[in-house]
Structure 1
């Protein structure tokens, strides 16, 4: 276990329970005051999280999906609007204050990925059939659809909204211009499928997690790999940069979450966990990390919990 340094000396850990089955996705709103969780139990929940994760959290249940809520994301410009993608083929927009669904659209396949454009105007959705749909948020209607001939995993915009990324089962990252979706680059990133991608909040880098158990760090302006993180031994399922872009968290089926320094590549802390992790996400304002995985309780049933760990500032 790496020795805790800097902000990783004082830790406080809090568990949130509410879902009946395992949690697939956790995401913070733009102000860092609310955390959403999406679950196999067909619901999402919104939790009001105090700074440092202390205190009892009130939660609101978002009910309406008829299949697993595989991924969710918040409107980057509105602290109370959240979008969910489900295996029931629908994408829904919710008001996190009331828990009510305000918009809904049915797409052609089982949705597994969803992300907002940084200016909040568009939503990109990926499904199990490797089809990408772009939604206009105001009208909540598809404005573009594209089917790919290869496995598409996670999707992301850069911080400007002018570049769009797809991680693929071929071990490549496809870089497209936006809104034309014309191909700019095919980055040969890994020797196995690329599963996940995270964008540095300062716009300097993006990180890619792969089935080869590596996380690669790429320079956004040069589109070149500058280093790899090698601590995990299983396929990397989830990566996230902290709010300063100084640290990156990554997780897999290894029984720990690795936190490394982006500039040096060195591990600064490891968080032990009891199961494979599905989602890690740093708070956009402070060093709070939310994480959720395949936890089992003592009866070997899915527990439906996630955790938030806080780190005192250095």
Structure 2
């Protein structure tokens, strides 16, 4: 079941570029990026809270900060201190605006109350964690590490609920909106569809491709590792991105790839849909600029000019605001726009 869409009007593709062209991206300067250099401060993860009135960034220099998008000065932000390694992922609880989770190279998962600026729970000993995703109901989450182990966690317990070792290189996990299955990207270029919470394959082949192999059905859309996946807010398409510079759009009814977006310069590191599911953008750590594509037609509708590569991208959950990392700095385009676009 797809989440209920906000009562917002969608921007027609013919008006998309003219709407964003005059807008200037707002920069959010962190003192860490100025004192230590943009390379050491590179942003690894960006996350909006459910209402879109807070945005968190996690960086390679251990800086975890929560910003007010309307107030770019750092004095209006909150730094959450406690991790001893690079922050790999941050994510807000999808049903609680002030509960944030972060994972780090220190092997610790931390749960924060951003109102009180305190860590309310932590889970240690998970290894080099690389992925993090909340279940849609906000009652559990999945964290993965470099040893290809997926941990199911509760935000209220200090130890994992369960652990599941995977047989292939596992990179990222994304939930379906019902919370009953997850999509797991792999180093083999495939995406697995697993049940939740037992994490067993759901789809099977009628005939094995290899007599000695598995009968598990996977989405095969990339010629190199598939590193990111994102489900459209409407639930119709699953987007996957690989190091082959391709974004594939899969119809979730029959799992057929409907179209590919192949105009990115480097590996696709992140993918994000607009709140209405009409537009998609991919982030890469090569090249510059961000190309926005109309999902249903595959048409290119706009290019956001950037100073450098933008590996992390994230559309706001309630409006047309695009947050992205650009040479170690958080930038948001559209945050100051109150004009009508319909």
Match of 1:13 among 25, 45, 48: 25
Query: Partner residue of 1:235?
Result: 267
Q: How many residues align?
A: 301
Is the counterpart of residue 244 in structure 1 residue 276 in structure 2?
yes
Taking the TM superposition and a 5 Å limit, the aligned residue runs for 1:34-49 are: 34-49=54-69
- Where has structure 1 moved over 6 Å in runs of 4 or more? none
Taking the TM superposition and a 5 Å limit, the aligned residue runs for 1:231-310 are: 231-252=263-284, 253-293=286-326, 295=327, 304-310=328-334
Q: 1:275 to 1:6 in 2, by over 3 A?
A: closer
Judge which range, 119-128 or 250-259, deviates more. Answer: 250-259
Is the counterpart of residue 29 in structure 1 residue 53 in structure 2?
no
Q: 1:9 to 1:255 in 2, by over 3 A?
A: closer
Is the contact made by 1:43 and 1:64 (CA closer than 8 Å) also made in structure 2? Answer: no
- Paired residue secondary structure (1:89): coil
Query: Partner residue of 2:130?
Result: 112
Query: Partner residue of 2:187?
Result: 169
For 1:165-205, what per-residue CA distance to the aligned partner results, in whole angstroms no more than 9, with x for missing partners? 11011010011011221102311121111011111112111
Taking the TM superposition and a 5 Å limit, the aligned residue runs for 1:79-94 are: 79-94=97-112
Higher normalized contact order (CA 8 Å, seq sep 6+, divided by chain length): 1
* Alpha-carbon distance in 2 for matches of 1:283, 1:43: 22
Query: Partner residue of 1:204?
Result: 236
- Paired residue secondary structure (1:5): helix
- Paired residue secondary structure (1:150): coil
Note the C-alpha offset of 1:9.
Answer: 3.8
Bigger CA radius of gyration: 2
Query: Partner residue of 1:151?
Result: 169
RMSD, aligned CA = 1.8
Note the C-alpha offset of 1:287.
Answer: 0.4
